[in-house]
Structure 1
Amino acid sequence: MNRVFHPQGIIALFFLTLTLLISGCGQSDEPQELYLEGKTMGTTYHIKVFAKQDKLDALNLQPEITQLLKDINQSMSTYIPDSEINTFNRLAAEQVMPISNDFRAVVSESIRLGESTKTLDVTMGPLIDLWGFGPDKKPTKRPTDAELSAMIAQIGVDKLILTEQGLAKTIDGLELSFSATAKGYGIDKVAELLESHDLSNYMVEIGGELRVAGKKPHDQDWRIAIEQPDTEPGVRKVHRVLAPGNNGIATSGDYRIFYEMEGVTYSHLIDPATGMPSRHDLVSVTVLHPSAMTADGLATALTVMGMDKAKAYAEKYDLPVYLIGKSDDGLVTYSSPAFKPYL
């Protein structure tokens, strides 16, 4: 039996088939989102990756990321008794300890930042404990000037000796804490892992610090919010949104971790030169840097400096920095020249 098709029906069928083919091609080429999350370093991590579905299907990233972060934590956590950092902290003076590449990278950058800023000191864990911001309970009274002077004499990155053979300390009792740099380093290592798999569009976040690269679908830039620092406890609001490009992003401030004692408010950010918690007009610092570890360390260091010194440091080294300070008239803000293109 002969079948007769009307020409218009053939044309309609052709365009329907063509539309389906184009639609199918579009779907296969459109980047898809892979979302991963977990726990690490006493906090959480969240990762977003955009890539073609066939590439994502061919990878099994979660186990790799889990092992990578586990190794870093084993190296740098002071809460793990046999960690690399605790092994060094128990070491006697003048003894050289061979160290892993990860440990070397973090201690090297921590020493550099400490010498440059004078306000970041990875050896002042005992001083932080003395003020009650470490794992021990907070003190019921302010440390005496004599206690602070004695503690200051026992800290300082100048008491670390880093050589090709390893790391040593010049005095007994010197201890390391990478609370200002380890999270950022973990972010950088995860980013390196993603890039080793030719993944170039991603966001990696650990404990509030981030690193982003590439784009989201439809050529959209990544957008990151800076938090409003003067909200009520338990309330979080957006202060400003930025497009950070391919950078690590770290924000530090004294508005979340503090306590009051004898009528005085004490911040968890301590000046290693004086041994005193920072008490000035600077409440939030956001830093952009290709390395999340460097951004993390700088954000802490600049917050301790205060508004004027932080502005001067940012301009001297051409750093993208955004500062929020407080005044009698409310909040004041500052964008360094290098930061303005990201707003």
Structure 2
Amino acid sequence: MKKIIFGCLALALLTGFSTGLSGCDVGSSSVSRSELKIGGKTMGTFYNIIVIGDYPGGQEQLRHEAEEVLDRVNREISFFDKNSELSKFNQHKSTEPFRVSQDVADVVIASLRAGKELDGAVDVTVGPLVNLWGFGHVKTETLPPTPDDSAIKAARKRIGLDKLHVSVGYSFAELKKDIPNLEVDLSTVGEGFGADKLAELMELRGIQNYMVSVAGAIRTKGLNSRGKDWVIAIEHPTAEQNVGQRLEVPVCTMGQAISTSGSYRNYKIDEKTGQRLSHIIDPATGKPITHHTVSVSVVGATALWTDAIDTGLMVMGSEAAIRFANERNMAIYTIVKEGNEFKAHYSRAMQKYLVCD
């Protein structure tokens, strides 16, 4: 689960909802258009929705339909719900094809594409390594503080995007694994997928101005209540890491999605060396990342895509990620710890999102 908080939604993500959400337009205090706001829990985190104007059936209908959408997402891709489609595939200890819904197939396809584009830097089968380092679903007290090379080597044999396959036909979709004990964890993309599904609901109901979020994955469209572009603030940490001292970098979303992967909130200290270990594991080495990039934010057309790619860019580190993004005209924003300072770097395509009227 990503721990980065977007400043405009900071209270929403920490406490579930903030009555002050209105697109971060701090230049004016008058609200010219009415808002509907709801929020709640999903996927072990929070969701929030702001609709400008009316919603068919009102606020309670919005809540009912939104939670119905998110419940369906959980039934499809939850790693924790043992009755979800994904969990049943993971329990399927066979290399025979396994039928899934089109939604599950779509999320896996997006994850495989992101992994291929990033040369394996993001891998939804990496769970055995995450568990090995004490950041996954296995109780950390049962694990050694620092895995040795033989344990890492053994875990790496159980992962790999090349061992996962998707087949889609006119009336079916199937997943297949090359090794029976391969497991897929879509937590790194689930929030983005959920945000996209909420955006689909808004489109279905004819809503032209909205902001939807699941944790740090956000979709916007149209204008906020003040008739201006939605602005999301990326949390910019300080050396002291005190909430009151956070800086916030405004990003004009321009009807796009935005998500962030970060490492400075979720880490542990190696008992032997005293080194800080990130929860983000590099599939190529089987070990936590060691560079000083602490977050990567991505702006793009869908939250599923930005959520699928931001973790891989974190694995690459700021310098390689910026180079990668510039070659592909991608909008990304990175924060790097340089000595006692945190400094921002961003791709050329990101510049237009950092200038808000």
**Fold agreement, TM-score > 0.5:** yes
Matched with 2:247 is 238
Asked if 1 retains the 8 angstrom alpha-carbon contact of 2:278 and 2:288, the reply is: yes
Structure 1 residue 253 displacement after superposition: 1.3
Shift of 1:55: 5.1
Find out whether 1:338 has 2:349 as its counterpart.
yes
User: How many corresponding residue pairs?
Assistant: 313
Helix, strand or coil at the partner of 1:114: helix
How much has 1:199 moved relative to structure 2?
0.2
Which consecutive residues of structure 2, in runs of 5 or more, have no partner in the other structure? Answer: 1-31
Letter in 2 for 1:243: C
Q: Distance in 1 between matches of 2:211 and 2:301?
A: 13
**1:202 paired residue number:** 210
Aligned residue for 1:103, secondary structure, equals helix
- Matches of 1:101 and 1:200 in 2, distance apart? 27
Moved more, 85-94 or 108-117: 85-94
Q: CA deviation at 1:230?
A: 2.9
- Name the SS of the counterpart of 2:269 in structure 1: strand
Query: In structure 1, the residue corresponding to 2:348 is in which secondary structure?
Result: coil
Tell me whether 1:122 sits opposite 2:131 in the alignment.
Answer: no
Structure 2 counterpart SS, 1:323: strand
1:144 to 145, 148, 155: 148
Residue type matched to 1:160 in 2? L
Paired position in structure 2 for 1:217 = 225
SS in 1 for 2:136: coil
Q: Does 1:253 align with 2:262?
A: yes
Distance apart, 1:203 and its partner CA:
0.7
Q: Give the match's secondary structure for 1:79.
A: coil
- Percent identical across equivalent pairs? 36
Residue equivalent to 1:44: 46
1:83 aligns with 2:94: no
Shift in Å at residue 233 of structure 1?
4.4
Q: Is the 1:227–1:239 Cα contact (8 Å) retained in structure 2?
A: yes
Distance 1:90 1:226, change over 3 A: same
Q: Does the C-alpha gap of structure 1 residues 205 and 54 become closer, same or farther in structure 2, counting only changes over 3 Å?
A: closer
Deviation at residue 286 of structure 1 after TM alignment: 0.8
CA offset at residue 229 of structure 1? Answer: 2.2
The 8 Å contact of residues 225 and 238 in structure 1, kept in 2 or not, is answered as no
Q: Following the alignment from structure 2 to structure 1, what is the Cα–Cα distance between the partners of residues 217 and 259?
A: 5
Q: Work out whether 1:168 is the aligned partner of 2:176.
A: yes
The letter of the residue matching 1:116 is E
1:174, CA displacement in angstroms?
0.2
Given that 2:236 and 2:335 are in contact with CA atoms closer than 8 Å, whether structure 1 keeps it comes out as: no
Aligned CA-pair RMSD: 1.7
Length-normalised TM-score, structure 1: 0.87
How far the C-alpha of 1:35 sits from its partner, in A, is 0.4
Q: Is the 8 A contact 2:133 2:145 kept in 1?
A: no
Give the counterpart letter for 1:126 in structure 2: P
Q: Which residue number corresponds to residue 307 of structure 1?
A: 318
**2:343 match: secondary structure:** strand
Match of 2:21 in 1: none
Q: One-letter code of the match for 1:230?
A: T
Deviation of 1:74 after TM superposition, in Å, equals: 1.2
Q: C-alpha distance in 2, partners of 1:39/1:274?
A: 35
Q: Give the match for residue 153 of structure 1.
A: 157
Structure 2 equivalent of residue 13 of structure 1? none
Higher mean alpha-carbon deviation, 186-195 vs 94-103, is at 94-103
Say whether the 8 Å CA contact 1:307–1:325 is kept in structure 2. yes
Matched residue of 1:180: which SS? helix
Provide, for residues 33-62 of structure 1, a one-character-per-residue CA deviation record: whole Å limited to 9, x for no partner.
0101111101111110002x4856498221
Q: Name the larger-Rg structure.
A: 1
2:322–2:347 contact (8 Å) kept in structure 1: yes
1:217, CA displacement in angstroms? Answer: 2.7
Relative contact order (alpha carbons < 8 A, sep ≥ 6): 1 or 2 greater?
Answer: 2
1:191 to 175, 199, 218: 199
What's the offset of the Cα at 1:331? 2.5
- Note if contact 1:229-1:284 (Cα within 8 Å) is conserved in structure 2: no
